[in-house]
Amino acid sequence: MTLPQQAEIVVIGGGIIGCSTAYHLAKDHKAEVVLLEMGQLTSGSTWHAAGLVGQLRSSASITRVLKYSVDLYKRLDEETGLSTGWKMTGCLRLATNQDRWTEFRRLATTARSFGMEMHLLSPDEVKAMWPLMDTSDLVGASWLPTDGQASPSDITQSLAKGARMHGAKIFEQVRVTGFELDGGRITKVKTDQGAIICGKVVNCAGQWARQVGAMAGINVPLQPVKHQYIVTEKIPGLAADAPTIRDPDRRTYFKEEVGGLVTGGYEPDPQAWTTGDVPNDWEYRLFDDDFEHFEQHMEQAMIRIPALAEAGVKQMINGPESFTPDGNFILGVAPECANMFVGAGFNAFGIASGGGAGWVLAEWTMSGEAPLDLWVVDVRRFSGLHRDRQWVCDRTLEAYGKHYTIGFPHEEYESGRPRIVSPLYERLKSHRAVFGSKLGWERPNWFAPKGMEARDVYSMGRQNWFGPVGEEHRHVREKVGIFDQSSFAKYELSGADALRALDWICANDVAKPAGKLTYTQLLNSRGGIEADLTVARLAEEKFYIVTGTGFRTHDMAWIADHIPVGSNAVLTDITEEWGTLSLMGPKSREVLAKVTPGDVSNEAFPFAHIREIGITGHTVRALRVTYVGELGWELHVPIAATGAVFDALMEAGEAEGIRPVGYRALESLRLEKGYRAWAADITPNDTPFEAGLGWAVKLKKDTDFMGRNSLESIVGRSLTKRLAGFTLDDRDVVLVGRETILRDGETVGYLTSGGYGYTIGKSIGYGYVRNPEGVSDDFLMSGTYELVVANESIPAKIGMNAFFDPENMRVRGGCQT
């Protein structure tokens, strides 16, 4: 079959992800699809995948993606006539210690929140299900009956046949050699057999996705890691429908295959393959067997299943799998190229993810928007840092090593640090800062008092920083604190059409005089919240935009993508040009007034304004905003002057008791005030009305904006979900998010974020209450609520306003709370 000269969409890669994407593009969207595979279908890493299919993840959207995979594998053979090898055996996850058992109890709660069936079993119940297993060390196990296993090659061939049945054209032995680009868009895919003019490209090239992307200037941060497992001869007494097993405390997994067992694991000392390019001829190839490295898994596996000691090894598989620096896969449109989409880096979950990933990637490719909240897997979560192949390798190996470790709340990665530091790094270290890392930036999470070791000690209960963070929290409520938020992403949009562009992109009204700032959401076509940021007007044709550290690439690309074509508007990332010091607390005005000749009174400098003021001879952009519910300013300082301004503030504020404060206190302060956090409380799945942010939408203004049509269609209709806050009287209950919300004993939602409010002395959580018949004020307030925490129901109180009671606040003019 001769290559066509043009196609609507070219999919690169014939593994399970590429074939699934082609299938969904052709079947669901009737798209003209050409799939190119440089070897044969499945010849990359698909063919040697272990084939375990699990569904539960910490994200509701990703769990939905994986559940879709299972539903597809169940029915695909009927459509195509080719078996997928799907077996719904269920999956046992084993716990041998109390921390792991607490993790499983939390996972059981998450499963309930996401509508999945999950049970907690005793060791005796596990033994009855798996007689060959030694259960003597178990505390218990979780049981997901709808998990299972499948044949990777069979699924892929079935998807490929389905794609062909719906019109897709698949070409094997065709290697992509480059791209022609025009204005940041791919116009032609070059191959060793000719070029194809195309509208869009989907990069599903597996372990080659990084180098395929590089041909178009796109970064796909992957690291191939050697992953080994064995296939045994038949084992007497092993049932054909035996559940798959994940034994995380022994870092191993098992599945039945033709009467024997497949067993492998995730070791703490993984072996990277290469930080260079993967050879093009790596077709159906494996590494040499490495029994010495695999021995650690074999020892643990034989302890768990003693019959393995007598079983012969039929085959050892030692092949590369693509892993990512955070253990999540990669989907979405590349920030560097508006018409290349990526589906890669599946961290040995490609089979479990394949069906659903192909579905959402096809939707994303056709519409230009993710159909769900897929932020945790969005390619735009990365930054320029992730072009450093050695850094990516080091962080990826750490993520691989954590694959089966206990997922403690708030746990930080340690590799590749420190990478990016603000000018205050050494100063804050001298104040005993305990740093976390966000998109490569070192940021102080909390400050250890003298006599206490300055490090995190992780646990499933209250962690060692709980008390010190409470002191920081109280200090901001009562006096004044200073936060180093230099890692904030910062952009400038300038030009004659800058206002017109922002008026279209922003849901709130940014057409305000110079010197004013606006808190706004950026919406998708469905009215969902794609970003949440601050826009300050510096001059008639110049705007200053500030957003969260982790959203730097995403928000920059979203704005750039939605500037109307032909506009005279230039967007520039200036993150590293400005440091940011947030001065917050009732004494903040007194401190600021000491270091600047500028008038910072409420009359001269009201809330939601920006002024240029002088501090120690430096011109500072001062933004009167708060994320803590106290009087305060964000001081945006020329980066080289950040240290001098910090020193001046610390010296001037000595009488007021100024002290540096970390991000964990910031989180507890914002929870008390009910400020929303993007990617948690507000996401692309949620509209401003549902999130209680309707006041920030300019529907009363006769101005079109992205998402307006969708929002207008729901005005006046009863909302079926609304964000609400909850508190618990029991101080010892730890909320971390995804706890189930019960109303009158019925599940109505789950928490999107959780933590502790030190001022009110209660645990606080936020989450959407759902009801298909509508969520009115009366519905919300008339119910009796509980939160399911680690599988236990705890009485809760609902609140639709800030939990930090204004009646208990000091009176201070002009403080927006």
* Mean local confidence (pLDDT), 414-432: 97
Mean pLDDT of the chain: 94
Asked if residues 216 and 187 have their Cβ atoms less than 8 Å apart, the reply is: no
Asked if residues 588 and 622 have their Cβ atoms less than 8 Å apart, the reply is: no
Q: Which tokens hold the place of 763?
A: 């645990």
452 pLDDT above the threshold of 80:
yes
Who's near 98: CB < 8 A, 6+ residues apart?
139
Q: Give percent above pLDDT 70 in the chain.
A: 98
Q: Per-residue pLDDT tens for 172-219?
A: 999 999 999 998 999 999 999 999 999 999 999 999 999 999 999 999
Banded model confidence at residue 813, pLDDT cuts 50, 70, 90: very low
810 pLDDT above the threshold of 50:
no
Concatenated DSSP letters for 517-551?
EEEEEEE-TTS-EEEEEEEEEEETTEEEEEE-GGG
Banded model confidence at residue 44, pLDDT cuts 50, 70, 90: confident
> What is the 3 state secondary structure string of 712-732?
HHHCCCCCCEEEEEEEECCCC
pLDDT at 580: 98
317 pLDDT above the threshold of 60:
yes
* Mean local confidence (pLDDT), 28-52: 87
- Predicted TM-score (pTM) of the model is 0.95
Question: Nearest to residue 585, comparing CAs of 391, 810, 787?
Answer: 810
Q: Which domains does the chain have, with CATH numbers?
A: 6-84+150-223+326-381 (3.50.50.60), 91-147+225-317 (3.30.9.10), 489-577 (3.30.70.1400), 578-667 (3.30.1360.120), 717-817 (2.40.30.110)
* Mean local confidence (pLDDT), 483-503: 98
Q: Per-residue pLDDT tens for 704-757?
A: 999 999 999 999 899 999 999 999 999 899 999 999 999 999 999 999 999 999
Q: Which tokens hold the place of 675?
A: 């400020």
447 pLDDT above the threshold of 70:
yes
If you search the block for the tokens 């930054």, which residue do you land on? 383
- The CA–CA distances, whole Å, from 58 to 101, 222, 396, 751 equal 16, 22, 19, 12
42 pLDDT above the threshold of 90:
no
Residue type, 89: T
CA distance linking residue 493 with residue 188, whole number of Å: 31
Q: Give percent above pLDDT 90 in the chain.
A: 89
Q: Per-residue pLDDT tens for 338-350?
A: 999 999 999 888 8
Which of 170-184, 329-343, 348-362 shows the lowest per-residue confidence on average (mean pLDDT)?
Answer: 348-362
For residue 762, report the phi and psi dihedrals to the nearest 5 degrees.
-140, 155
Which of 142-151, 197-206, 583-592, 726-735 shows the lowest per-residue confidence on average (mean pLDDT)?
Answer: 142-151
CA distance linking residue 423 with residue 643, whole number of Å: 6
Exposed, middle or buried by CB within 10 Å (0-12, 13-18, 19+), for 17?
buried
52 pLDDT above the threshold of 80:
no
* Mean local confidence (pLDDT), 653-668: 98
* Mean local confidence (pLDDT), 377-386: 97
* Mean local confidence (pLDDT), 654-669: 98
pLDDT at 805: 67
* Mean local confidence (pLDDT), 355-363: 96
Q: Per-residue pLDDT tens for 257-292?
A: 889 999 999 999 999 999 999 999 888 888 899 999
417 pLDDT above the threshold of 70:
yes
* Mean local confidence (pLDDT), 91-108: 95
51 pLDDT above the threshold of 80:
no
